[in-house]
Amino acid sequence: MPDTPRRADRLPGSRYGNRPTMKDVAARAGVGLKTVSRVVNGEPGVTPETERRVQEAIDALGFRRNDSARVLRKGRTASIGLVLEDLADPFYGPLSRAVEEVARAHGALLINGSSAEDPDRERELVLALCARRVDGLLVIPAGDDHRYLEPELRAGVATVFVDRPAGRIDADVVVSDNFGGARDGVAHLIAHGHRRIGFIGDMPRIHTAAERLRGYRAAMEDAGIPVKDSWMSLGVTGPERVRRAAEEMLADPHHPVTAIFTGNNRVTVTVIRVLAEHTRRVALVGFDDIELADLLRPGVTVVAQDAAALGRTAAERLFRQLDGTLLVPERVELPTRLITRGSGELPPAD
């Protein structure tokens, strides 16, 4: 007996190894093409006997409907695209899952891609998704000019921006209250006696980073505290830069900070590491919640946003656009929540 033939007997370059089509099924069952289509799609008007014959042929041939063909004819692909910054960032995990759940409830699949915070890559991905004719698009934008989407919007591609607004086009957007959240977080530090407070955030071209900085400035201004330039550091959120920024604020010969407000989860994690190396107690409030924040000593006080709610709300709006029940682009803002765990309640060290 020969070896069981395996992958080697498939024709690698061939069209899916010549899968059987409805035509093949029809021939084998001795019926018309349309009758096969009826059985495959569970449409009424087929006698049990005919249905049995067709089903038999389907099983014998291992037929599986080709949705590519179906999509071409029907016009809807039952798929949506999600473009985010980085699939590996813990912030996007719950967001993606929430989107997937809504998509699933609507019978749609999810195509996922990362822009790596690169506007060109965002554009490339979004347009690739449009070429695939996704029914809708959920975009966490990296760029600030989305006019390239205008023909797509006109053509009826449902679109919702998430976490950050679209640039130079009028589109639905669901964001967190970045300004208010940051302001509250910084005000919390001020209420605990701090006046020299640092801010370390992401690149200022990122909308959320700019808004959070604005919140920081507003809280300081509300308290009548003049802000030193050396207290603010914006840039990439890699550990090296953030570490340097934190060290510099802490070591400032004239105005060393007694507290730091960190602009996102990645920055917070690095600053926790830096502070762990210092004996002086420095207060910390971070934007975004982080896992195990409650188990550190002190626990990490954060301004939490609800990533799952962000994803769910955006996805639901997307499908309402597709229903035709949502006609005018809007901006939806979700509240943030201050969670006190200790690090934000430390008094100034001096």
Partner DNA sequence: CTGAAAGCGCTTACAG
Closer to DNA at the Cβ: 37 or 112?
A: 37
Q: Are 45 and 75 in contact (CB under 8 A)?
A: no
List interacting residues with DNA (CB under 7 A): 15, 19, 21-23, 31-35, 37-38, 40-41, 44-47, 49-50, 63, 65-66, 69-70, 72-74
To a copy of itself, the closest distance from the beta carbon of 58 in angstroms equals: 10
Q: Does 254 bind a copy of itself (CB under 8 A)?
A: no
Q: Which residues contact 340 (CB under 8 A, 6 or more apart)?
A: 188, 301
To a copy of itself, the closest distance from the beta carbon of 110 in angstroms equals: 5
Q: Does 179 bind a copy of itself (CB under 8 A)?
A: no
Q: Does 319 bind a copy of itself (CB under 8 A)?
A: no
Q: Which of 1, 2, 12, 229: binder of a copy of itself (CB under 8 A)? A: 12
Q: Which does 35 bind (CB under 5 to 8 A by kind): DNA, a copy of itself, none?
A: DNA
Q: Which does 87 bind (CB under 5 to 8 A by kind): a copy of itself, DNA, none?
A: a copy of itself
Q: How many residues make contact with a copy of itself (CB under 8 A)?
A: 78
DSSP for 30-44?
TS-HHHHHHHHTT-S
Q: Which does 150 bind (CB under 5 to 8 A by kind): DNA, a copy of itself, none?
A: a copy of itself
End-to-end CA distance of the chain, in Å? 85
Annotate each residue in 262-291 with x if it binds a copy of itself (CB under 8 A) or - if it does not, as one string: -------x--xx--x-------------xx
Q: Which two tokens stand for residue 242?
A: 């953030």
CA angle (35 as vertex; 32, 38 as ends), nearest 5: 155
Residue 91 DSSP SS3 = coil
Q: Which two tokens stand for residue 299?
A: 């626990």
Rg of the Cα atoms in the chain: 27
Cα-to-chain-centroid distance, residue 165: 13
To DNA, the closest distance from the beta carbon of 198 in angstroms equals: 53
Q: Which two tokens stand for residue 261?
A: 């407000």
Site for a copy of itself in 63-122 (CB under 8 A): 64-69, 71-72, 75, 77, 79, 86-90, 92-94, 96-97, 100, 104, 109-114
Q: Which residues contact 328 (CB under 8 A, 6 or more apart)?
A: none
Closest CA to 122 of 80, 92, 81, 174: 81
Q: Which does 224 bind (CB under 5 to 8 A by kind): a copy of itself, DNA, none?
A: none
Closest CA to 163 of 147, 150, 181, 148: 181
Closer to a copy of itself at the Cβ: 259 or 272?
A: 272
Closer to a copy of itself at the Cβ: 71 or 349?
A: 71
